[in-house]
Structure 1
Amino acid sequence: MPREECCGEMMEGETFPWWSESQIRLQEELREFVDERIERAEKLIWQRKYPLEFLKEAGRRGWLGAIIPEEYGGKLSEYGYTGSCIIIEQLARLGQISMQYVVTMCDARLIMKFGSDELKREFLPKMAKGEYLGSLTVTEPFVGNDAAAIETVGRIEGDEIVIDGKKRFITSLGVSDFYMLLVRTSDDPDLIKKHRHLSMVIVKAGTPGFTIERINELIGFDNIYNGYLDFNGVRVPRSQMLGDVGDGWKVLMGMANYERTLASANQLGWMAEALRYAVFHTKRRVQFGSPTIDLPTNQFKLSEMIVRYKAARLLTYHAAHLFDLGEDPAFDAAIAKYFNTEEGINVFLEAIQLMGGDGLTRFYPVESYLRNGKITQLAPTTSEIMKVVIYRFGLKALEPILEAPRRRIDDELGVPVTVGFYRGKEPGDREISEKEVLDLLAENYRVNPGIHMAIEDMIEESGASLESLSRALEALEDKGLAITYRGRKGNIKLARATFKGIREAKPIEEYRYIPDWVDEKDLF
């Protein structure tokens, strides 16, 4: 169907103000490339034939060199990380071949960051041209997101690494030319605590002892290989290790945020196509005398899909731009990956709902986006892990707007108002009495009646030393006037007055607040 009849200019793939002319042209070239091959892609999905031809052609056009420096035959200065996301967003419209683009580009980043000059010269030029395609090989039968617990062993024997173990859920196995493999090189408890017990090594296809054990039948990835690998005494030169022995965790983390950003961009292609088919179908499906797109409820669904798609693109290309600026944006990549895969599912479900029974059939591709989208909620990295990352990095990143409010009872109104913010003032050196501390806790009850008071807020209010404040709180706790909450190391983090302490600190009249509109005869 003509694109202009479906989703208009939006489906053309909007650009962003920070895109270069090369990146804008790249999107135009890719759109044309994909448009010309959609028929072929759909046939290969029905035939369940691996669509390697698309990635090979992308390599010949230089698109696999998007983040590879020019000295190795790439186009880093022309396309960059933003360009790699543009590429995968469009390739995703051809099906799941985009997932091999994800892992190959991640391998390229790792070789660039941690590979020796020899490895860079051997791999990067061929990767830039699509002659070398890679896989990421981390997950095992008994280890998923807990990558530090892998059991596949890499024994150092002279100039070789001898590998024994298994990996599973490896995408594009069989057609990849090499495998970026995380192995365990030590069982030393001290090294394990420091995450220095892992190493990353490249294993080439065809290495003796390296075999495919199983090909999975997944909920999605209809014509993409995914399965188990077995390593039985596999010997590889130590020169194929990235970084030094024990650097495996650092190497793995060196691509995690980029992998999440690429996975986010991949989701954009599927979201756009789901939106395309939803609009196409509702414009042509007539019920109750008019096209179903005229129904307000369907317009609401399409509006929500558009919002999700637009927000997903903004998050993705913001993260990609940060990579181009030289950052490694863990926070932004996690948000993009979480939002795109979660909201992508909602877009696919709504598209199916709008298409009715047709959306459930395999005669339209929308149902495949739902199946594939479920996979990307789990890999790379689950939505739950993304929430953990977002929480950890988010509180730090948003610190400037999360300063605790400093509240007081207004003399005129008699209600709590914000008078400033706690800035994390350093402890003072003065002694503080038990009475002063109890008064602080009682005042906190007046303005924040349901929560404890933080020790740092008490320091800022009083100018007391931490030691003096802690002694006073412990004494009040012994007398049943206060309750403290302690951290893992036993230090006081929070405190509040008990009911007994509240009564001892102030008379009930100082806590009382009765609005003027309350009838006095109803009070007691």
Structure 2
Amino acid sequence: MKVNTYPWWKDTHIKLADDVRTFVDERIGRSEELIWKKKYPLEFLKESGKRGWLGAIIPEEYGGKLSDYGYTGSCIIIEQLSRLGQISMQYIVNMCDARMILKFGSDELKKEFLPKMTSGEYLGSLTVTEPYVGNDAAAMETVGKIEGDEVVVRGKKRYITSLGVSDFYMLLVKTSDDPGLIKRHKHLSMVLIREKTPGFTIERINELIGLDNIYNGHLDLNDVRVPRDQIIGKEGDGWNVLMGMANYERTLASANQLGWMAEALRYAVFHTKRRVQFGAPTIDLPTNQFKLSEIIVRYKASRILTYHAAHLFDLGEDPAFDAAIAKYFSTEEGMKVFLEATQLMGGDGLTKFYPVESYVRNGKITQLAPTTSEIMKVVIYRFGLKALEPLLKAPKRRIDDELGVPLTAGFYEGGESGTGEITENELLDLLARNYRVNPGIFMAIEDMVEESGASVESISKTLEALEDKGLALSYRSRKGDIKLARATFDGLQEIKPIDWYRYIPDWVDEKDLF
């Protein structure tokens, strides 16, 4: 059975999707057995390595499958592997490590690690979070002191996926206390540490809310000596290395949700078709049909967002905006899917004899890692306003002579600053006209420039004079620059008579006016 595809998928993607689905279908029972026994499902990753799936984004010169699979292929793989318990968590960190080595690693590291990562001989972990540092990665406390040809690492790390199973660990460490470098995020370095390096000790294995048979824990690093040539990129490049991977990590996390969402839908349909209440299957109840409809919408929307972001990677982009949307939407809407599926199954959905309850627990983890939903919203806001800027030009509103109401006359272009001067009366008149069409919001200084042709300097100087007289009020940036302004009540009275501001519709009875 062919899975749902997209027009930009290649034949190799379609075949890959069918192959991985078949692989997973044949191992679902074994996966459930390992979860009950709390045994690490390493065998699935090793088998994936033999099939080349761990090399989806690794070029062929290192034994990978970049030309056939690429970033879209890696999402296809993880969408299905996520159905095998939680092994997809290891897949995510392994692929992210591969991207960091590919983009920033030395030729020597690429030649040693990438072929073995492709085959599954080497598995990696990502080690960023600390006891007192989470999303604020720039505030890292673990120190990497440069001593000759070595980096001496001291500190603690936590919430490390696949701790103890991985063959190497990517560690973000602080290599400088220089305030200037800290300000530019050039005080961090990404270091590759091999397992069982002296001083490299597992401090704790966590008991998490979910991810039942995946190791996750804390590391103690006591004077761990690492060859200096195992710094990924250059000293001080750690922040760029991390950010160069982060958007891919978010896209993979989104793809991971898709497998869980599809399984939640499968079990919800399976159960409601066979659960008879009040003389009919519960799927016949309109309320349950509505719930299933919402699950389908959330799944399909999450999937298109995910594969769109993956396709942008294949086109050579690093889509921060699209990856953030995909990760935020799929994890937030995924949790709604898991809860609704549990609700549809009633009491059975609460038992561990069905997998749906595990998706609820796992889903809470993926709302927090990698990167919280709150951070994703910050990214979406920052990148979104910039990406959508052509759609967000401020409307120029004018009072129509015939109707007496504000109509759109065009859009502000936000061009270069004007060069002319503006008098107090001219500026007050401009603010009054803005009040008439937008009687609740300030006027932006760039709009004043475009309307008047005056320079920012002249407008600012004139506004200060109007403020001194109580005729205008300004909003300033932290630097003290005027950004917005409006006329005060006295200013409006000063420049125009009351009748100029009035608007009374024809249908209002004149006897009711005053």
TM-score if structure 1 supplies the norm length? 0.97
The letter for the 2-side match of 1:384 is E
1:81 deviates by 0.2
1:29-74 residue CA offsets vs partner (Å, 9 max, x unmatched): 0000000000000010011000000011000100000000000000
1:380-434 residue CA offsets vs partner (Å, 9 max, x unmatched): 0000000000000000000010000010011111111111000012222211110
The letter for the 2-side match of 1:271 is M
**Quick one: which of 495, 501, 506 aligns to 2:485?**
495
1:446 lines up with 2:436 in the alignment:
yes
Counterpart in 1 of 2:241? 251
Query: Hey, what's the Cα distance between the residues in 2 that align with 1:99 and 1:392?
Result: 28
Counterpart in 2 of 1:100? 90
Aligned runs of 1:253-272 on 2, under 5 Å? 253-272=243-262
1:512 lines up with 2:488 in the alignment:
no
1:13 deviates by 3.3
1:314 lines up with 2:278 in the alignment:
no
The letter for the 1-side match of 2:164 is G
Counterpart in 1 of 2:231? 241
1:344-375 residue CA offsets vs partner (Å, 9 max, x unmatched): 00000000011111111111000000100000
Equivalent residue of 1:199, what SS? strand
1:458 lines up with 2:455 in the alignment:
no
Query: Hey, what's the Cα distance between the residues in 1 that align with 2:186 and 2:383?
Result: 23
Counterpart in 1 of 2:67? 77
Aligned runs of 1:103-118 on 2, under 5 Å? 103-118=93-108
Aligned runs of 1:324-473 on 2, under 5 Å? 324-473=314-463
Aligned runs of 1:219-238 on 2, under 5 Å? 219-238=209-228
Q: Which runs of 4+ in 1 moved over 4 A?
A: none
Equivalent residue of 2:376, what SS? helix
1:97 deviates by 0.5
The letter for the 2-side match of 1:174 is G
The letter for the 1-side match of 2:23 is F
Structure 2 gaps of 5+ residues are none
Equivalent residue of 1:94, what SS? coil
1:92 deviates by 0.2
Query: Hey, what's the Cα distance between the residues in 1 that align with 2:29 and 2:150?
Result: 47
1:139 lines up with 2:106 in the alignment:
no
The letter for the 1-side match of 2:100 is L
Counterpart in 1 of 2:472? 482
Equivalent residue of 1:496, what SS? strand
TM-score if structure 2 supplies the norm length? 0.99
Structure 1 gaps of 5+ residues are 1-8
The letter for the 2-side match of 1:475 is A
Counterpart in 2 of 1:60? 50
Query: Hey, what's the Cα distance between the residues in 2 that align with 1:191 and 1:238?
Result: 20
Equivalent residue of 1:78, what SS? coil
Counterpart in 2 of 1:4? none
The letter for the 1-side match of 2:298 is R
Query: Hey, what's the Cα distance between the residues in 2 that align with 1:427 and 1:464?
Result: 8
1:171 lines up with 2:142 in the alignment:
no
**Quick one: which of 14, 17, 41 aligns to 2:7?**
17
Query: Hey, what's the Cα distance between the residues in 1 that align with 2:450 and 2:435?
Result: 17
1:162 deviates by 0.7
Query: Hey, what's the Cα distance between the residues in 1 that align with 2:377 and 2:340?
Result: 24
Equivalent residue of 1:502, what SS? helix
1:520 deviates by 1.4
Query: Hey, what's the Cα distance between the residues in 2 that align with 1:397 and 1:167?
Result: 35
1:201 lines up with 2:191 in the alignment:
yes
The letter for the 1-side match of 2:335 is I
Number of equivalences: 514
**Quick one: which of 265, 269, 279 aligns to 1:275?**
265
- RMSD between aligned alpha carbons? 0.7
Equivalent residue of 1:93, what SS? coil
Query: Hey, what's the Cα distance between the residues in 2 that align with 1:113 and 1:61?
Result: 24
Query: Hey, what's the Cα distance between the residues in 1 that align with 2:466 and 2:505?
Result: 33
1:201 deviates by 0.6
The letter for the 1-side match of 2:436 is R
Query: Hey, what's the Cα distance between the residues in 2 that align with 1:430 and 1:413?
Result: 33
Query: Hey, what's the Cα distance between the residues in 2 that align with 1:349 and 1:132?
Result: 37
The letter for the 2-side match of 1:414 is G
Counterpart in 2 of 1:5? none
The letter for the 1-side match of 2:138 is A
The letter for the 1-side match of 2:446 is E
Query: Hey, what's the Cα distance between the residues in 2 that align with 1:439 and 1:275?
Result: 61
Counterpart in 2 of 1:121? 111
1:305-341 residue CA offsets vs partner (Å, 9 max, x unmatched): 1000000000000000000000000000000000000
The letter for the 2-side match of 1:373 is G
Equivalent residue of 1:449, what SS? coil
The letter for the 2-side match of 1:265 is A
1:260 deviates by 0.3
Q: Percent identity?
A: 81
Equivalent residue of 2:83, what SS? helix
With 124-133 and 513-522 compared, the bigger mean Cα shift is at 513-522
The letter for the 2-side match of 1:206 is K
Counterpart in 2 of 1:296? 286
Counterpart in 1 of 2:511? 521
The letter for the 2-side match of 1:26 is L
Query: Hey, what's the Cα distance between the residues in 2 that align with 1:521 and 1:57?
Result: 86
